Amino acid sequence: MFGVDLRQVVAGILTLAMFVMLIHMIKRDHFDAVQDKLPGVTDEVSFESGKFDGTHVRKNLGLYKGDADELKACWVKPSDMGVQSEGYVTFSLTNGPEYHISQIADAVIVARSLGATLVIPDIRGSQPGDKRNFEDIYDLDVFMRSMEGVVAVVKNLPDQISTKNIAVVKVPNRVTEDYIATHVEPIYRSKGNIRLATYFPSINMRKAGKKGDTDSVACLAMFGSLELQPEIRDLVDSMVERLKTLSRKTDGQFIAVDLRVEMLDKKGCRPDNDGEKSCYNAQEIAVFLRKIGFNKDTTIYVTESRWDSSLDSLKDLFPKTYTKEAIMPADKKTKFLDSQDSELEKVIDFYISSQSDVFVPAISGLLYANVAGKRIGAGKTQILVPADIQDSSASASNFLSPYVSKKNHFAYSCYC
């Protein structure tokens, strides 16, 4: 009756199918940058829906099964200081706690090697005149006790020794006995006292080959000598508890992201000759976290001190994203935040990053390396390095820190 040609019907159906497929391809081209498939995720899942299911990946990494077994310190504390000389080694702690850990270790190793007395360092910030006492940030009694039998320690130089007559000696981070014998000891024997300045030719936190006295001293200095003084420790603890309270929907677990906006434009954050990235911005971090399965209820602490508009893209996907100003107790802000004291802010960031359930270093550098060391010793090995996850069979090794997956961090020489 209608005289419908079957071939016309088939052609119409094929045309419609091709049209739908074309629309789908256009949509995929637009969203693929932020919506790669992972195991257990269906095509219908989108970031905006808030229903992204990365349970498979999270279980694979063990991120929400609690911490790994806490390792025990396996270094042997030296008990014989050897022959003591009459000279002194002085130095300052600079640039934040990620540097302090390495500077302390190098100074203790040098003083012990020389048989010299170590003078408690002062702490200096990035601005001229920004200077404070060791005990303003760290527990002096803990440090003094940790050094008993390792190296002689005094709080101040004797009055008769003028700081103007002390030779300044530069030493590389992870200084060796050979370097000390060749480059430091001759100056010390000649001048009688020296002032150390540690420089960082590279970020070297790799596991040591052979264990020796120097490694035991370094382990003790890096992981067993520095503790926060009570007021700052209580502040960090209160901020961690606040973050846990804000994370009720994720069983009190939160992520710390080291993301400092001012660092992203610096030379160290530019891609290398091979195009490899060492820094990631807020949008890239947001996409990365969503791809590996964290949903919109995830609580994130960002090390940027105050809110910056560039963080909005992170908050769009993770509304529970906070900086220090949002979670610090009101009665502490004047001293620790409003004073523009970057040194104290760095200390807070370092120790919150060391205690979070997951740590994501958006910036590769010494803070990442030394936070990783603290976390490894505490069994908090959930350290995720941002990466571009493209296919559905993503391996945990793509984003689990090589410090952990390969166990090549120096901390694994100290803990077992």
- 164 & 181 share domain: yes
Rounded CA separation 200/366 (Å): 9
- 405 & 288 share domain: yes
CATH of the domain at 386: 3.40.50
pTM of the model: 0.81
- 109 & 157 share domain: yes
- 323 & 386 share domain: yes
**Residue 371: which of 256, 267, 279 has the closest Cα?**
256
**Which pLDDT belongs to residue 211?**
58
Among 171, 199, 224, where does a domain finish? 224
**Which pLDDT belongs to residue 232?**
96
**Which pLDDT belongs to residue 409?**
94
Burial class (CB in 10 A: 0-12, 13-18, 19+), 385: buried
Give the chain's residues under pLDDT 50. 1-2, 4, 9-10, 19-66, 392-393, 395-396
- 197 & 248 share domain: no
Q: What is the pLDDT of residues 113-146, one digit of tens each?
A: 999 999 999 999 877 778 899 999 999 999 999 9
- 217 & 153 share domain: yes
- 325 & 210 share domain: no
94, containing H or E segment: strand 92-94
- 254 & 323 share domain: yes
What b/e sequence results for 338-370 when a residue is b if at least 16 CB atoms lie within 10 Å of its CB, and e otherwise?
eeebebbbbbbbbbbbbbbbbbbbbbbbbbbbb
Strand order in the sheet with 117-119: 153-154, 117-119, 88-90, 194-199, 167-172
Identify each DSSP E strand in 140-245 by its residue range.
Answer: 153-154, 167-172, 194-199
CB-based contact 343:132 (threshold 8 Å): yes
Q: DSSP alpha helices (H): ranges in 192-281?
A: 213-223, 230-245
CB-based contact 408:381 (threshold 8 Å): no
How many helices (H) and strands (E) are present in the chain, helices listed first?
Answer: 16, 12
CA distances to 53, 104, 229 from 223, rounded to whole Å, are 38, 10, 16
Residue in the block written with tokens 């007559």: 165
- 376 & 410 share domain: yes
Range of the domain at 197: 88-224
Residues 6+ apart with CB under 8 A from 288: 280, 360, 386, 387, 388, 389, 399
Residue in the block written with tokens 């203790």: 108
- 276 & 408 share domain: yes
Q: What is the pLDDT of residues 58-82, one digit of tens each?
A: 444 444 444 566 788 888 888 777 7
356 occurs within a structural domain: yes
8 occurs within a structural domain: no
Burial class (CB in 10 A: 0-12, 13-18, 19+), 169: buried
